[in-house]
Amino acid sequence: MVALENVLARAAPEADDVAIVVGGDMPWLVPDVLRAMLDRLTNDAAATAVILEREREGPSPGGPRQVLPLAVRLEAARAAAREGVEAGQRSIQALLDRLAVDELPAATWRALDPEANTLLDVDTVAELERIERHQVR
């Protein structure tokens, strides 16, 4: 969260500006999914952030929510990140706890990204090798 707070602090948003936050290790983001997230945020005045809904089936249906990609209203995210860092919090999850989060339904985003490539990140050598072999997409 410290790096994100640093970036948000330097942004010069208008009152209604929004942004997408992604990890640098997310090689196959699907632009249509990101646009759908921004559309949902723009159309939900009460929300200050949008994440992708976790599917109710699969390997970890009850696991922690997916925090990236993340669509945010810049002003709210900037304040939440600053407050979180000042409180000693460091995780993006802690940032989400300070925002009014809406979820883009799994049925909506999976229709745009059937393989769930938008969620792919590279945290291990095995994941990198899988990508290099083009076993995803």
The tally of CA atoms less than 13 A away on the side-chain side of residue 79 is 9
- pLDDT for 126 equals 82
CATH superfamily of 2-132: Spore Coat Polysaccharide Biosynthesis Protein SpsA; Chain A (3.90.550.10)
Residue whose token pair is 């802690």? 94
Count other C-beta atoms under 10 Å from residue 119's C-beta: 19
- pLDDT for 55 equals 74
pLDDT means over runs of 10, the chain (137 residues): 86 77 91 98 95 72 74 94 93 94 96 91 83 64
